[in-house]
Protein backbone atom coordinates (compact mmCIF):
# COMPACT_ATOMS: atom_id res chain seq x y z
CA UNK A 1 0.00 0.00 0.00
CA UNK A 2 2.60 2.55 1.04
CA UNK A 3 4.91 1.50 -1.81
CA UNK A 4 2.47 2.89 -4.38
CA UNK A 5 2.22 6.19 -2.55
CA UNK A 6 5.98 6.45 -2.47
CA UNK A 7 6.13 6.34 -6.26
CA UNK A 8 6.24 9.95 -7.41
CA UNK A 9 5.45 9.24 -11.06
CA UNK A 10 1.83 9.53 -12.08
CA UNK A 11 1.23 8.01 -15.49
CA UNK A 12 -2.19 9.66 -15.58
CA UNK A 13 -0.77 13.19 -15.12
CA UNK A 14 -1.19 15.34 -18.21
CA UNK A 15 2.25 15.49 -19.87
CA UNK A 16 1.50 18.96 -21.20
CA UNK A 17 0.71 20.29 -17.73
CA UNK A 18 3.93 18.76 -16.46
CA UNK A 19 5.94 20.37 -19.26
CA UNK A 20 4.21 23.70 -18.69
CA UNK A 21 5.14 23.52 -15.01
CA UNK A 22 8.74 22.70 -15.96
CA UNK A 23 8.88 25.65 -18.37
CA UNK A 24 7.34 28.04 -15.86
CA UNK A 25 9.83 26.90 -13.24
CA UNK A 26 12.76 27.37 -15.65
CA UNK A 27 11.45 30.79 -16.59
CA UNK A 28 11.27 31.80 -12.92
CA UNK A 29 14.71 30.33 -12.13
CA UNK A 30 16.45 32.08 -15.00
CA UNK A 31 14.64 35.37 -14.44
CA UNK A 32 15.79 35.29 -10.80
CA UNK A 33 19.33 34.38 -11.90
CA UNK A 34 19.43 37.21 -14.42
CA UNK A 35 18.20 39.65 -11.77
CA UNK A 36 20.92 38.40 -9.42
CA UNK A 37 23.59 38.74 -12.12
CA UNK A 38 22.40 42.26 -12.91
CA UNK A 39 22.77 43.13 -9.22
CA UNK A 40 26.31 41.64 -9.17
CA UNK A 41 27.25 43.62 -12.28
CA UNK A 42 26.39 46.86 -10.47
CA UNK A 43 28.27 45.99 -7.30
CA UNK A 44 31.80 47.25 -6.74
CA UNK A 45 34.14 44.47 -7.96
CA UNK A 46 31.04 42.77 -9.43
CA UNK A 47 30.38 40.73 -6.31
CA UNK A 48 33.67 38.91 -6.86
CA UNK A 49 32.80 37.85 -10.42
CA UNK A 50 34.88 38.44 -13.50
CA UNK A 51 32.87 40.90 -15.67
CA UNK A 52 33.20 38.65 -18.73
CA UNK A 53 31.97 35.64 -16.77
CA UNK A 54 29.01 37.72 -15.58
CA UNK A 55 28.27 38.76 -19.17
CA UNK A 56 28.40 35.16 -20.35
CA UNK A 57 26.14 33.93 -17.56
CA UNK A 58 23.68 36.79 -18.11
CA UNK A 59 23.62 36.07 -21.84
CA UNK A 60 22.89 32.37 -21.37
CA UNK A 61 20.15 33.21 -18.87
CA UNK A 62 18.64 35.70 -21.33
CA UNK A 63 18.70 33.05 -24.06
CA UNK A 64 17.06 30.49 -21.81
CA UNK A 65 14.38 33.00 -20.76
CA UNK A 66 13.65 33.74 -24.44
CA UNK A 67 13.54 30.03 -25.35
CA UNK A 68 11.27 29.27 -22.41
CA UNK A 69 8.95 32.21 -23.14
CA UNK A 70 8.81 31.08 -26.77
CA UNK A 71 7.87 27.55 -25.71
CA UNK A 72 5.11 28.84 -23.41
CA UNK A 73 3.83 31.01 -26.26
CA UNK A 74 3.74 27.99 -28.59
CA UNK A 75 1.88 26.11 -25.85
CA UNK A 76 -0.81 28.78 -25.72
CA UNK A 77 -1.02 28.77 -29.53
CA UNK A 78 -1.31 25.00 -29.64
CA UNK A 79 1.84 24.50 -31.73
CA UNK A 80 3.97 23.26 -28.86
CA UNK A 81 5.57 19.84 -29.26
CA UNK A 82 5.61 20.00 -33.06
CA UNK A 83 8.94 20.21 -34.86
CA UNK A 84 9.44 23.64 -36.46
CA UNK A 85 11.10 22.07 -39.51
CA UNK A 86 9.40 18.76 -40.33
CA UNK A 87 6.14 19.47 -38.41
CA UNK A 88 6.17 16.02 -36.85
CA UNK A 89 5.48 15.58 -33.13
CA UNK A 90 8.59 15.89 -30.97
CA UNK A 91 8.87 12.73 -28.81
CA UNK A 92 7.76 13.26 -25.22
CA UNK A 93 11.06 11.94 -23.89
CA UNK A 94 12.90 14.71 -25.72
CA UNK A 95 10.49 17.37 -24.43
CA UNK A 96 10.91 16.09 -20.89
CA UNK A 97 14.68 16.43 -21.17
CA UNK A 98 14.46 19.72 -23.09
CA UNK A 99 11.03 21.34 -22.63
CA UNK A 100 12.05 24.34 -24.77
CA UNK A 101 13.04 22.20 -27.78
CA UNK A 102 11.68 23.53 -31.09
CA UNK A 103 12.97 20.68 -33.26
CA UNK A 104 12.91 16.91 -33.18
CA UNK A 105 16.28 15.22 -32.65
CA UNK A 106 16.56 14.43 -36.36
CA UNK A 107 16.12 18.07 -37.50
CA UNK A 108 18.29 19.32 -34.63
CA UNK A 109 21.15 17.21 -36.00
CA UNK A 110 20.59 18.57 -39.52
CA UNK A 111 20.88 22.19 -38.38
CA UNK A 112 23.95 23.93 -39.83
CA UNK A 113 25.39 25.07 -36.51
CA UNK A 114 25.53 21.49 -35.22
CA UNK A 115 26.58 19.97 -38.52
CA UNK A 116 30.24 19.13 -38.37
CA UNK A 117 32.03 18.25 -41.58
CA UNK A 118 29.42 15.87 -42.87
CA UNK A 119 29.68 14.29 -46.29
Nearer to Zn ion, 85 or 98 (CB): 85
Min separation Cβ 105 and Zn ion, Å: 8
Of 24-83, which residues contact Zn ion (CB under 5 A)? 83
CB 54 within 8 A of CB 46: yes
Nearer to Zn ion, 19 or 104 (CB): 104
Which is nearest to 85 in space by CA: 104, 66, 70, 109?
A: 104
Min separation Cβ 87 and Zn ion, Å: 7
DSSP string over 16-85: HHHHHHHHHHHHHHHHHHHHHHHHHHHSGGGGG--HHHHHHHHHHHHHHHHHHHHHHHHHHHT-TTB-TT
Binding marks (x or -) toward Zn ion, 75..114, rule CB under 5 A? --------x-xx-----------------x--x-------
Nearer to Zn ion, 22 or 107 (CB): 107
Nearer to Zn ion, 34 or 90 (CB): 90
Amino acid sequence: MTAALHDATHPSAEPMELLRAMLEEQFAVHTARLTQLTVYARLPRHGGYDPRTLDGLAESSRQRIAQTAHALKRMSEGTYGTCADCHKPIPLGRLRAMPHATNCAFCERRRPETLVNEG
